[in-house]
Amino acid sequence: MFKQAIATGWDCPRAKILVKLREGGTEIFNIQTIGRIRRMPERKHYDDDLLDRCYVYTLDNEFQEGLTDSVSDSFYSYLHKIIDNAPYIDLPKEFLDGSDRYAANPRAVVEVVRKKFLDECDLNHDGILTRQELKDSKGFVFDTKLKTTALEGVARTTKDIKDLNRIFAGEHQINIHDDGFIIRDAKRRIASALQIDESISSNALRILFDIQDKQFDLLDSSEDFKFESDNKLIGDMSHREYCAFLVNNKELLIQMFTEINAKDIVDIEEAPTTSASWHIPFEQYFKQHKKTAPNHFLKKSLFKQYGDNILVKPNRSAGEIAFENWCEKTDAVSWVYRNGDKGAEFFSIIYRMALRRANFYPDYITFLKNGEVWIIEIKGGQKADGTTENIDIYAENKFNALKDYVSKANVSNLKFGFVRYMGSQLYLSNTKWSEDLNDRSTWLPIEVFIR
| pLDDT given for residue 17 in this prediction | 86
Q: Identify the band that residue 74 occupies on the pLDDT scale cut at 50, 70 and 90.
A: low
pLDDT-derived band at 218, boundaries 50, 70, 90: very low
Poorest-confidence range of 135-139, 210-214, 410-414?
A: 210-214
pLDDT tens-digit series, residues 392-443: 889 999 999 999 999 999 899 999 999 999 988 999 999 999 999 999 999 9
User: What's the pLDDT band for 345 if we cut at 50, 70, 90?
Assistant: very high
The three-state secondary structure class of 134 is helix
Cα 63 from Cα 66, distance rounded (Å): 5
Mean pLDDT of 22-29: 62
Residue 207 has pLDDT above 80, yes or no: yes
- Does the pLDDT value for residue 374 go beyond 80? yes
User: Is pLDDT above 60 for 216?
Assistant: no
More confident residue, 73 or 83: 83
Question: Could you read off the pLDDT of 219-276 as tens digits, one per residue?
Answer: 556 788 888 888 888 878 899 999 999 999 999 999 998 888 887 777 777 777 888 9
The answer to whether 402 and 416 have CB atoms below 8 angstroms apart is yes
The CA angle 436-446-336, to the nearest 5 degrees, is 120
CA-CA distance, 180 to 402, in Å (whole number)?
A: 42
* Lowest-pLDDT choice from 32-36, 138-142, 175-179: 32-36
Mean pLDDT of 167-189: 88
201: amino acid identity, one letter: S
pTM score, two decimals? Answer: 0.74
Q: Distance between CA atoms of 8 and 403, rounded to whole angstroms?
A: 50
Measure the N-to-C terminal CA separation of the chain; round to a whole number of Å.
Answer: 63
Task: Report the distance separating Cα 120 and Cα 134, nearest Å.
Answer: 9
Query: For the residues 182-211, what does the mean pLDDT come to?
Result: 88
Residue 335 pLDDT > 80, yes or no?
yes
Q: Which of 45-49, 179-183, 429-433 has the highest mean pLDDT?
A: 429-433
Mean pLDDT of the chain, nearest integer: 85
Q: pLDDT higher for 394 or 12?
A: 394
pLDDT of residue 197: 83
Cα angle vertex 306, ends 300, 310, to 5°?
A: 115
| Mean pLDDT in residue range 99-117 | 82
Please report the pLDDT score of residue 61 as a whole number: 66
The helix-helix angle for 198-209 and 222-231 (nearest 10°) equals 70
Q: How many CA atoms lie within 13 A of 325 on its CB side?
A: 17
d(CA 220, CA 203): 15
Q: Is the pLDDT of residue 289 over 90?
A: no
Sort strands 364-368 and 373-378 into parallel, antiparallel or unpaired. Answer: antiparallel
